[in-house]
């Protein structure tokens, strides 16, 4: 059993639904920690205690919440309501070119499994890939002593723009055979749970969105600095996908430097071809240096390799200059740097220096530029969060309760 980190995924920030009153709405208040007992539910919603009790009984009968006794003042026992974690689980798949990260969390958001599989499941044919991924999920669910029938949602992160709501992959930079693939349709032959397909940088932004804030004040740009460069946008506590699902494709804006790799975007010297991890690897290899991965490149920079430090600093300046325009345009509260390259001090120092040099002071005076939280690196935190928020939204909870009721009275 996974125990290294006991990380819990919390819901995205939401304003308490004080006017709504279905069992699903009350479930949200319990899940968010806004109300932890029948009396608190009554206080928050303004509903009569008897009405609250009826709806809580629905949730208890449906197995979605549990009520436990907690000793209070004067020896009185207060009854505490909480999500019944064991009632189901969600799975997140984070697809890379040569690996897939699989994570599992229970309904309370506790991560139960987190595995990086460098397997051969990523095939030219998305149908073959999906079959392989399904077998991988089955294996991990078995190993975690769970029953597949208890899975309530699946989130899949892909390194490509995704057209919503159907979750169709459009114009992937690599894996061209995946253009127009709708993975949820392919998964539908194996499972009937909701399958949410999302761009990987968007999932990363979802993972980094703070839970303990008013949604209106959650504005962030999450930059994924790896072999490639990606960006996810949270505006007012919500993911901003844009009209075509392509918002945040910042990597193909023109940079000042010279391209080190070819990019299919047709922009001469785009940011990705000049300053991505892949471009820096190509630059060092052209100089005759042996460097196998972006992790190795980060290490070389930390050990003071002069050429590595030079290319990292130059790339940082290029990325900082590009981010400066986006920050001036978007006015985020937080700018989060993540991906394997975010652990390179020469790179991130140069990004900050250029950003604060060229951005409007009005934008930077309250801007928090930070590196990714450690728990975000744990599996697909954003995918788990999205899957849980989808599976446990009020309408879906109400539908689950009706289904359970129908089975019960049949």
Nearer to Zn ion, 7 or 270 (CB): 270
Nearer to Zn ion, 321 or 388 (CB): 321
Calpha distance 371→357 (Å, rounded): 19
First-to-last alpha carbon distance for the chain, in angstroms, is 37
Nearer to Zn ion, 270 or 359 (CB): 270
Task: Residue 230: name the closest of 271, 265, 263 by CA.
Answer: 271
Quote the least distance from Cβ 230 to Zn ion, whole Å: 12
| DSSP three-state, residue 267 | coil
Quote the least distance from Cβ 330 to Zn ion, whole Å: 21
Quote the least distance from Cβ 312 to Zn ion, whole Å: 20
The two most distant CA atoms of the chain are separated, in Å, by 76
Calpha distance 282→291 (Å, rounded): 9
Nearer to Zn ion, 110 or 173 (CB): 173
What are the Cα distances from residue 215, in Å, to 28, 228, 237, 245? 15, 29, 4, 21
Task: Residue 208: name the closest of 174, 181, 233 by CA.
Answer: 233
Quote the least distance from Cβ 252 to Zn ion, whole Å: 4
Quote the least distance from Cβ 239 to Zn ion, whole Å: 23
Calpha distance 151→138 (Å, rounded): 11
Calpha distance 375→83 (Å, rounded): 22
What residues line the site for Zn ion (CB under 5 A)?
252, 263, 265, 270, 272
Nearer to Zn ion, 47 or 275 (CB): 275
Nearer to Zn ion, 230 or 379 (CB): 230
Quote the least distance from Cβ 322 to Zn ion, whole Å: 12
């Amino acid at each position: 059993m996974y125990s290294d980190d006991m990380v819990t995924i919390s819901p995205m920030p939401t304003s308490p639904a004080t006017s709504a009153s279905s069992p699903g709405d009350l479930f949200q208040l319990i899940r968010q920690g806004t109300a932890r007992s029948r009396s608190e539910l009554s206080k928050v919603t303004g509903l009569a205690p008897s009405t609250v009790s009826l709806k809580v009984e629905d949730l208890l009968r449906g197995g979605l919440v549990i009520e436990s006794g907690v000793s209070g003042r004067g020896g009185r026992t207060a009854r505490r309501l909480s999500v019944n974690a064991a009632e189901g689980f969600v799975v997140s798949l984070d697809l890379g070119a040569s690996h897939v990260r699989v994570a599992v969390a229970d309904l309370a958001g506790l991560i139960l499994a987190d595995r990086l599989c460098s397997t051969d499941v990523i095939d030219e044919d998305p149908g073959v890939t999906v079959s392989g991924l399904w077998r991988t999920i089955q294996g991990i669910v078995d190993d975690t002593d769970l029953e597949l029938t208890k899975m309530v949602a699946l989130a899949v992160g892909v390194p490509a723009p995704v057209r919503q709501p159907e979750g169709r992959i459009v114009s992937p930079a690599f894996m061209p055979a995946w253009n127009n693939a709708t993975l949820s349709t392919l998964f539908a032959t194996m499972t009937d749970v909701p399958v949410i397909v999302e761009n990987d940088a968007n999932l990363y932004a979802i993972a980094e969105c703070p839970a303990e804030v008013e949604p209106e004040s959650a504005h962030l740009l999450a930059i994924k600095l790896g072999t490639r460069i990606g960006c996810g946008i949270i505006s007012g506590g919500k993911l901003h996908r844009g009209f075509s699902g392509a918002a945040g494709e910042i990597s193909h804006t023109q940079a000042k430097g010279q391209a080190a790799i070819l990019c299919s975007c047709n922009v001469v010297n785009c940011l990705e071809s000049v300053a991505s991890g892949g471009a820096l690897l190509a630059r060092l290899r052209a100089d005759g240096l042996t460097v196998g991965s972006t992790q190795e490149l980060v290490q070389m920079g930390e050990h003071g390799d002069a050429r590595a430090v030079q290319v990292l600093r130059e790339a940082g300046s290029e990325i900082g200059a590009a981010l400066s325009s986006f920050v001036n345009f978007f006015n985020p509260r937080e700018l989060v740097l993540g991906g394997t390259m975010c652990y390179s001090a020469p790179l991130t120092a140069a990004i900050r220096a250029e950003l604060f040099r060229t951005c409007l002071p009005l934008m930077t005076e309250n801007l928090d530029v930070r590196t990714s939280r450690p728990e975000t690196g744990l599996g697909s935190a954003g995918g788990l969060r999205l899957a849980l928020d989808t599976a446990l939204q009020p309408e879906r909870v109400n539908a689950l309760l009706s289904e359970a009721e129908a089975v019960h009275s049949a």
